[in-house]
Amino acid sequence: MAPARDLIEFGAAVCDAADEFPAGAAAVCLGGGADSAVAAWAMTQTRAEVRCLFVDHRLEFSSLLEDAAGKVAATLGLELHALDGPVVEGPDLEARARTSRQSALLDARGAAEILVLGHTADDQAETVLQNLFRGAGSRGLSGMRSKRLPWVRPLLSFSRADVRRLAVHLALPFADDPSNLDRRHTRNRIRLDLLPLLERDFNPAVKKVVAATAERLASDDQALLAVASAVPIREEWGAILLPSPLLVTLPSAVASRAVRRGLRSLLLPYPGTNADVRAVMDVARSGGRAQLSRGITAVAEGPYVAMYAGEPQPPEPAQLAIGDSLAWGEWSVAARRTHHPGLRRANTILLDPGVVGSDLVVEPWRAGNRIDIGEGTKPVAEVLREAGVAPRLRAVWPLVWVDAKIAAVAGHRSAPWAAATGRDVIELTIGKGAAWTSERC
């Protein structure tokens, strides 16, 4: 590439690519290198609201890179915001740093702000080959997307060498990360050894070939994702629920993507592992439970597979006045006095107003709780089990108390002494609050 006119034309092409993303505010992940520096420059040319974020991983060269990022930001007339992103112990430093970086950037993201990354076509080729070696499917082999909101990559179709030349032409004070020369990391060996070998001995345009293949696979993957997105995903008390009958009847390529959607909802942006997907599918087919990565449990709950990171915590006891309703955790519980026509609606218990008085108390189940059944008592846990309430939810199921006695297990049964005997009744209804279910992307 010629140093003057061609670079000006190349810079215009980069700006055109940056201008294709949604208008509005942008936050650039500025790492100190040439690629992110050019991405930041392109954003300043195409929109008014731009800020720079640097994630400090507390690694050997973090100070060097933060200093370079600060100088690049200052050159562009921007302020650098440093974020804390320590890397946890374990194998695969690059993957751990990426997870920490994504989490820090998502936490710092402003409303409707796009997050701009400086990945180039070279990074795409390295990513695809790295995913190939670890046995990834079509999703991994389709590489990175130029736009997967809030993430955008304006440089993904440009070579690293051309981007670097533009950074030099623009006099951006970037710095090279010395750790990129460390051959202990797989990506560096692909960059420094494998790709040069492939270009020399097999195909000088291997990076373009890999990128084109990734683009075709991405198109196939998008078609499968569109089908998988029709699988309904419910959110309940911190768990993600997937319908087992659909998972076991859909083609595996579609079902696995639906499971990934569910895992990503729990672990944003991490979509779980292949082993996680297989374990969830086993639970959908055969029931039982399985432990997934990152502390996630998958368990059969009726017609669903529920995935969650921890047991839900019961709300504090609360008073419920007759004629009122309250939000209790993810439930809504209401009590009203009415002249009942006869048939009881679903999720509704009818109580005697002569017994209930003016106030009810809503409390969570506790071990040892029993409800009167006329001839003796019955463990509330058994009532909930017979009603099909999942074990995970029994501790957060609302019990209604009157004068220190359990009058009703909301939605399922009342104690005979509290049950309505005439047509003048207290109608006690349990419903799903605003947070009970929601469609997830």
Domain end call among 224, 251, 283: 224
pTM of the model: 0.68
Same domain, 215 and 271: no
State whether 242 and 365 are in the same domain.
Answer: no
**441 domain-assigned:** no
Report d(CA 166, CA 34) in Å as an integer: 9
Cis peptide before 245 (omega within 30 of 0): no
In a shared domain, residues 201 and 246 = no
Tokens in use for 58?
């507390």
**Are both 183 and 244 inside the same structural domain?**
no
- One domain for residues 252 and 361: no
Asked if residue 212 is part of any domain, the answer here is: yes
Task: Give the pLDDT confidence score for residue 435 in this predicted structure.
Answer: 34
Mean pLDDT of the region 251-256:
93
Q: How far apart are CA 141 and CA 133, in angstroms?
A: 10
Asked whether residue 313 is assigned to any structural domain, the reply reads: no
Q: What is the mean pLDDT of residues 146-158?
A: 93
Q: Are residues 246 and 153 in the same domain?
A: no
Mean pLDDT of 415-435: 78
For the chain, how big is the Rg over CA atoms in Å? 29
Return d(Cα 6, Cα 4) in angstroms, integer.
6
| Segment among 320-329, 371-380, 408-417, 426-435 with least mean pLDDT | 426-435
User: Are 304 and 327 contained in the same domain?
Assistant: no
Predicted confidence at residue 4, as pLDDT, reads 63
Determine the pLDDT at residue 439. 33
* Domain termination site, one of 172, 203, 224: 224
CATH number at residue 47: 3.40.50.620
**What is the residue range of 255's domain?**
231-308
Residue 440 resides in a domain: no
Domain-embedded: residue 25: yes
Residues 23 and 89 in one domain: yes
Same domain, 208 and 246: no
Provide CB contacts within 8 A for 4, sequence distance 6+.
Answer: none
Q: pLDDT, tens digit, for every residue of 119-149? A: 999 999 999 999 999 888 788 899 999 998 8
* 289 and 383 belong to one structural domain: no
Question: 329 CB contacts (<8 Å, ≥6 apart)?
Answer: 237, 312, 314, 315, 396, 433
Give the pLDDT confidence of 7-66 residue by residue, as tens digits. 889 999 999 999 999 888 999 999 999 999 999 999 999 998 999 999 999 888 999 999
Statement to judge: residues 159 and 113 lie in one domain: yes
Instruction: Mark which of 204, 224, 244 sits at the end of a domain.
Output: 224
Tokens describing residue 366: 């506790």
Judged by average pLDDT, the poorest of 3-12, 48-57, 328-337, 341-350 is 341-350
Q: Would 359 be classed as within a structural domain?
A: yes
In a domain, 437, yes or no: no
Residues 68-125 pLDDT 10s: 999 999 999 999 999 998 887 777 788 888 888 988 999 999 988 999 999 999 999 9
Please state the domain count of the chain: 3
Q: How far apart are CA 100 and CA 38, in angstroms?
A: 23
Q: Which pLDDT value is given to residue 342? A: 55
What mean pLDDT do residues 404-412 have?
85
Cα pseudo-dihedral 35, 41, 43, 45, rounded to 10: -150
pLDDT score for 111: 87
Domain assignment of residue 358, yes or no: yes
**Same domain as 195, residue 254:** no
Q: Which residue do the tokens 């709300």 mark?
A: 315
